[in-house]
Amino acid sequence: MNSISFPNIDNENLPKWEGDLAPLECIEIIEETHNVKSFRFKSQKDAWFQFLPGQHTTLFLNIGGAEVMRTYTIASSPTRPHTITITSKRMSGGVVANWMHDNLRVGDCIDALNIGGSFSVALDNPKKKVLLMSGGSGITPMLSMTRYFVDLAINVDIVFVHNAQTPEDLIGKYELDYYAHHQTNFDLHYVCDKAHAIWQGESGFLSAEMLARMVPDFLDREVYCCGPEAYMVNAKTLLEGGGFDMNHYHQESFDIESSTAQHNMAEPHEESLDTPEFSGEVVEYNVTLTETGKTILCPSNINILAAIQKQGIGVPFACSMGMCGTCRVKMTEGTVDMDAQGGLLKSHEEEGYILTCCSHPTSDVVLDL
């Protein structure tokens, strides 16, 4: 007689999941909308996941013989630490999302890098009144935060405003409707760019009048925003125009819909990455790549990744903002000025790893690359 095989969920005797040590095994695929799927994963080796609501991981895949990285926010809550869920939208030209939709099956395993990111309500000291604003698949960190609040019964007043193209494009609608019906202090608003005649919610593009109507006390709230770049720019403009204190505004730093992470492969690029303005004396340092046997010059006003790419050397990278950890490499000699935005674990930094996309040399450097 067949019997249920229960996984080990004893966290005290289980290791914490580390991306480079245990692949993710797909255990469930959920059809969210006509072009959005959620993929639920567990660790192939018994382990538990430690992360904060709103953080992300980077999938590392081989598609058509090319190594491809794609950074995804984790949609599930850390209060359920034995699985993680990634929700992805099929897009025109979307390398990883489309491959996952067409090819990934329950039981398949994929590699992923470690979890990181600085966009999380749990990293701030927010007000007890929160406004979550999301557009399209930018809803994923908001779902994680909402599930976190609900699971822990946190005393918080939430207004959730979600924008989609049509009512058929609303991700997580049944779950959010359930919260709106059963949770106290949970006010839910949908806004659809295009709506049919029977749609009873807001329609059109988000405007100042619409925001004031849905969230009359938005000035008193902590705001978290995520979505396509145009959506976040509009949301920020509306808030600023309404007199909102932007010290209480937080947004995800990479564009969910068109993130460079879905296109960036381990190949040379014709143009180097943009680098911020630099003030002070510019000094050139040698950067030695031990695996390739090459030494390149890197001025102190250029990040190391950009300097490497200028030489036509292909290296992995994704977000280019120090968030995802894709460009992590071990530095065996030298020093750098690094502004990692959550994409590097403290333990890895202590072991000598740096993120090349946000590291500027302050001496000659040797990398295991």
Strands, E assignment, the chain:
24-33, 36-43, 56-63, 66-73, 84-89, 109-112, 129-135, 157-164, 186-192, 202-203, 222-226, 249-251, 284-289, 294-299, 328-333, 336-338, 353-355, 359-361, 365-367
Q: Which contacts (CB < 8 Å, 24+ apart) does range 213-216 have?
A: 214/159, 214/161, 214/189, 215/131, 215/159, 215/161, 215/187, 215/189
**Domain match, 172 and 55 both:** no
Dump pLDDT digits (tens) for 11-22: 888 899 987 778
Dump pLDDT digits (tens) for 94-106: 888 999 999 999 9
Dump pLDDT digits (tens) for 110-153: 988 778 888 899 988 999 999 999 999 999 999 999 999 999 99
**Domain match, 243 and 278 both:** no
Examine residue 21 and state whether it is found in any structural domain, yes or no: yes
Question: What value does the mean pLDDT of the chain take?
Answer: 87
Sequence-separated (6 or more) residues with CB below 8 Å from residue 178? none
Confidence of residue 260 (pLDDT cuts 50, 70, 90): very low
**Domain match, 300 and 336 both:** yes
Report the CATH number that the domain containing residue 278 is assigned in CATH. Answer: 3.10.20.30
Examine residue 3 and state whether it is found in any structural domain, yes or no: no
Report the CATH number that the domain containing residue 186 is assigned in CATH. Answer: 3.40.50.80
**Domain match, 42 and 105 both:** yes
Edge-to-edge strand ranges of the sheet holding 157-164: 202-203, 186-192, 157-164, 129-135, 222-226, 249-251
Tell me which of 112, 143, 166 is where a domain ends.
Answer: 112
- Please tell me the predicted confidence (pLDDT) of residue 340: 73
- Please tell me the predicted confidence (pLDDT) of residue 224: 97
**Domain match, 272 and 206 both:** no
**Domain match, 108 and 125 both:** no
Q: With 60 as the cut, is the pLDDT of residue 268 above it?
A: no
**What would the mean pLDDT of 249-254 be, rounded to a whole number?**
80
Dump pLDDT digits (tens) for 64-91: 887 777 889 999 999 999 999 999 999 8
In degrees to the nearest 10, what's the CA dihedral of 316, 226, 273, 291?
-20
Q: With 80 as the cut, is the pLDDT of residue 53 above it?
A: yes
Report the CATH number that the domain containing residue 41 is assigned in CATH. Answer: 2.40.30.10
Dump pLDDT digits (tens) for 159-202: 999 999 999 999 999 999 999 999 999 999 999 998 887 888 88
**Domain match, 107 and 126 both:** no
pTM of the predicted protein model: 0.78
Tell me which of 218, 251, 284 is where a domain ends.
Answer: 251
The residue with tokens 């065996």 is 332
Rounded Cα–Cα distance for residues 28 and 51 (Å):
20
Q: Which domain holds residue 339?
A: 266-367
Phi, then psi, of 237 in degrees rounded to 5: -65, -45
The total number of structural domains in the chain stands at 3
**Domain match, 136 and 214 both:** yes
**What would the mean pLDDT of 45-72 be, rounded to a whole number?**
86
Q: With 80 as the cut, is the pLDDT of residue 261 above it?
A: no
Tell me which of 73, 89, 112 is where a domain ends.
Answer: 112
If residue 5 lies in a helix (H) or strand (E), which one and from where to where? none
Examine residue 257 and state whether it is found in any structural domain, yes or no: no
Examine residue 260 and state whether it is found in any structural domain, yes or no: no
Examine residue 67 and state whether it is found in any structural domain, yes or no: yes
Examine residue 1 and state whether it is found in any structural domain, yes or no: no
| Residue 166 three-state SS | coil
| Residue 294 three-state SS | strand
Confidence of residue 332 (pLDDT cuts 50, 70, 90): very high
**Domain match, 230 and 297 both:** no
Dump pLDDT digits (tens) for 281-307: 899 999 999 988 899 999 999 999 999
Examine residue 2 and state whether it is found in any structural domain, yes or no: no
Confidence of residue 318 (pLDDT cuts 50, 70, 90): low
**Domain match, 170 and 240 both:** yes
**Domain match, 279 and 356 both:** yes
Sequence-separated (6 or more) residues with CB below 8 Å from residue 68? 60, 61, 62, 95, 96, 262, 264, 265
Choose from 35-44, 331-340, 349-358 the range with maximum mean pLDDT.
Answer: 35-44
**Domain match, 278 and 205 both:** no
Instruction: Give 3-state DSSP helix, strand, coil % of the chain, rounded to 5.
Output: 25, 30, 45
Examine residue 137 and state whether it is found in any structural domain, yes or no: yes
